[in-house]
Amino acid sequence: MILFPAIDLKDGQCVRLKHGDMATATIYNDDPAAQAKAFEGQGFEWLHVVDLNGAFQGQSVNSAAVGAILKATKNPVQLGGGIRTLEQIEDWLDRGLARVILGTVAVRDPDLVRQACKAFPGKVAVGIDAKGGKVAVEGWAEASSLGVIELARKFEGAGVAAIIYTDIDRDGVLTGINWDATIDLADAVSIPVIASGGLASIADIVRMTMPDAKKLEGAISGRALYDGRIDPTEALAILRGRPAMETRS
């Protein structure tokens, strides 16, 4: 079970949003590479990075910051936001990404996702971001008519490494992960699922260890880590099977 610390990039800075609204950005670090190194030092073994500007503009915008992150940490990095072509996928993987996350293009052009999975086995994840149970695209700015499970099932057998499922209504507001919807998705497909959106406290970490959640690959944490609501040592100890000294809600 992996806890993925998140670095969301806006204008070269490490920020967190509420409900995906760029106007709500809180700056947590103006040196994303240093933040990546700090997460590695805290014991995390993966890093989740999103190019927020890229997600809205449809092309990579914070590539310099991502490059600096890749140089700063030895941890594998997954990146989403503005990656829409096979050429972009290949370029990022050549630069050292462990895997790319395809979101909007998974809705607009699912065949491209299948091609990418075949060309780069184990290195392509699909990001499914939902609002009110429907998939959102273009940096969450547009709603589609697709249901979450309907979209996920399009990629069964394609070789997708993971599905990153985000409940937009919970993202960045510390209300707890939507466990019911996340586990329903994990039950509906054979692709590993990563929970995202709303992770708020050690209670969510403990929830990750419950039997029905163990099929998940892990969960992503952003604001709760930056605000100190989750102690990394305690969280990682719980996920590695060592009892926490205390459980806070």
- As a whole number, mean pLDDT of residues 10-16 equals 90
- Active site (annotated) includes residue 187: no
> Of these residues, 51, 129, 171, 204, which one is catalytic?
129
Enumerate domains of the chain plus CATH numbers. 1-238 (3.20.20.70)
Q: Catalytic annotation on 31? A: no
Q: Residues 201-236: pLDDT tens digits?
A: 999 999 999 999 989 999 999 999 999 999 999 999
pLDDT at 217: 96
* AA identity, residue 55: A
The confidence score (pLDDT) of residue 138 equals 58
Of these residues, 8, 51, 167, 204, which one is catalytic? 8
